[in-house]
Amino acid sequence: MQHKSKLLNVGTTIFTVMSTLANTHNAINLSQGFPNYPSDQKLTDLVSNAMNSGFNQYAPMAGNLNLRLAISNKYQLLYNSSYHPEKEITVTAGATQAIYCIISAFVKQTDEVIIFKPAYDCYQPAVEVNGGKAIPIQLSAPDYKVNWEEVATKVTSNTKMIMINSPHNPSGTIWSKEDMLQLQKLTEDTDIIVLSDEVYEHIVFDSNQHQSACLFNDLKQRSFITASFGKTFHNTGWKIGYTCGPEALMEEFRKVHQFNVFSVHHPSQKGIADYMQDANTYLGLNDFFQHKRDLFLSLISDSKFKIKPSQGTYFQVLEYSEITNEYDVDFAKRLTTDFGIASIPLSVFNENNQDDKVLRFCFAKTDKTLVKAAEILNKI
Ligand code: PMP
Ligand code: GLN
């Protein structure tokens, strides 16, 4: 049987490639982004309670209502922004499923979607498998700053969507208020939808503020925000997230969501809803991860890597041109097999696999693991 692939240029995701290599070689795995410590026992107890008290059948299609209320309260508390729990919030199987369904609900043949590179790897395939055309805008290391005049030249009558992501995976940069205002101005009086991937909203360092799309009135009217409890509550394997957006857009989203998963793991939703009654469960995250970033950076300050401190996310990028001229994928693999430390090469997220000699390291690890990792990095 012969068939032509719908995604000719897509192979196995780098996260699977590097984690598999790390496991095979028993390397310290700072590649795929996930914590190596448990999430709060109180949260796992609340999910167990939910299972033991009967929350084991389908959740409502848009999500457990208590969870949607808790999410709505969070937006009110943090951003003074209102999302109607019944009409404007949908619980999803992680941010990945939300992103896929948002794109699938709106992007048709010949529609263009602007994607800033380096970009998280699920964005472009989701556009292409739905027949859309990705319009890349490559940002330059080490600052990854957006040139808004360049962006303006990429907007056409076919632009359906602009995808943004701050705090940014993989670079660890954040967008300023000015960036958001520029985006708002650019999209004013258009029908462009903004997909704002904010999965790291609670991980911003050095007293900076997260600039959520919901803080900008006109932007909010055209934006889906996506979020992930996996990042916030240290349980990436549960795959629970959500999206919020204006009612009319959400109606279209749910047309796809209902036939994609219908609804997601109910006991986790109930447990998270109960857990979120205390806002401190997510408000302390900046400090928690700033400690880890600062520890990691202080431990490797004398290494040969060039460091620009991460502004947000739980990733730190390191430039290695003083060490070797090797292609970043080869170097990342060699570090795993020969030195016992796994990272993610950034070229896989860049347009045409542009190689800036940059690797991404995840510092959502125990302090002990970070100390061991730094010992290795200092010897390279
Ligand atoms: N967007 C970004 C930028 C991410 O880093 C991730 C995963 N780490 C996701 C989306 C997907 O989140 P989830 O695991 O909840 O599907
Ligand atoms: N988001 C995680 C990262 O950036 C990985 C998610 C995945 O493995 N699909 O590392």
pLDDT classification of 128: cutoffs 50, 70, 90: very high
Based on its alpha-carbon atoms, the radius of gyration of the chain, rounded to whole angstroms, reads 20
CA–CA gap between residue 57 and residue 47 (Å, rounded): 14
Residue 279 β-bridge partners = none
CA–CA gap between residue 274 and residue 38 (Å, rounded): 19
Give residue 32 CA to ligand 2 midpoint distance, Å: 5
Helix axes 266-275 and 41-52, enclosed angle (nearest 10): 130
Which residue in 105, 140, 138, 288 sits closest to 200, CA to CA? 288
pLDDT classification of 285: cutoffs 50, 70, 90: very high
- So what's the pLDDT on residue 123? 98
Cβ of 232 closer than 6 Å to ligand 1, yes or no, is no
CA-closest residue to ligand 2 atom 2: 33
Cβ of 230 closer than 6 Å to ligand 1, yes or no, is yes
- So what's the pLDDT on residue 192? 98
Cβ of 63 closer than 6 Å to ligand 1, yes or no, is no
Contact between residue 127 and residue 113 where contact means Cβ atoms under 8 Å apart: yes
Residue 287: Cβ-neighbour burial (10 angstroms; 0-12, 13-18, 19+) = exposed
- Per-residue pLDDT, averaged over 72-90, amounts to 98
- So what's the pLDDT on residue 9? 87
Nearest ligand 2 atom to alpha carbon 16:
8
- Per-residue pLDDT, averaged over 330-347, amounts to 98
- Per-residue pLDDT, averaged over 294-314, amounts to 97
Structure tokens at 56: 């084991």
The rounded percent of the chain whose pLDDT value lies above 70 is 100
What average pLDDT does the structure give for the chain? 97
Summarize pLDDT for 207-264 with one digit per residue, the tens: 999 999 999 999 999 999 999 999 999 999 999 999 999 999 999 999 999 999 999 9
Query: DSSP states of 268-286 as a string?
Result: HHHHHHHHTTSTHHHHTHH
Cβ of 313 closer than 6 Å to ligand 2, yes or no, is no
Give residue 157 CA to ligand 2 midpoint distance, Å: 33
- So what's the pLDDT on residue 357? 98
Nearest ligand 2 atom to alpha carbon 31:
10
Dihedral pair phi/psi, residue 316, rounded to 5°: -125, 125
Count helices and strands in the chain by DSSP H and E runs: 15, 13
- Largest CA-CA distance found in the chain, in angstroms, rounded: 58
**Residue 144, CB-side half-sphere exposure with 13 Å CA sphere:** 26
Give residue 379 CA to ligand 1 midpoint distance, Å: 32
CA distances from 61 to 55, 230, 246 (A): 14, 20, 17
**Residue 238, CB-side half-sphere exposure with 13 Å CA sphere:** 27
- From 236, 238, 314, 315, the mutation candidate for ligand 2 (largest count of ligand atoms within 8 A of CB) is 236
Return all residues near 289 (Cβ < 8 A) that are at least 6 apart. 203, 205, 314, 363, 364
pLDDT classification of 60: cutoffs 50, 70, 90: very high
Cβ of 165 closer than 6 Å to ligand 2, yes or no, is no
- From 14, 20, 32, the mutation candidate for ligand 2 (largest count of ligand atoms within 8 A of CB) is 32
Summarize pLDDT for 150-176 with one digit per residue, the tens: 999 999 999 999 999 999 999 999 999
Cβ of 241 closer than 6 Å to ligand 1, yes or no, is yes
- So what's the pLDDT on residue 38? 95
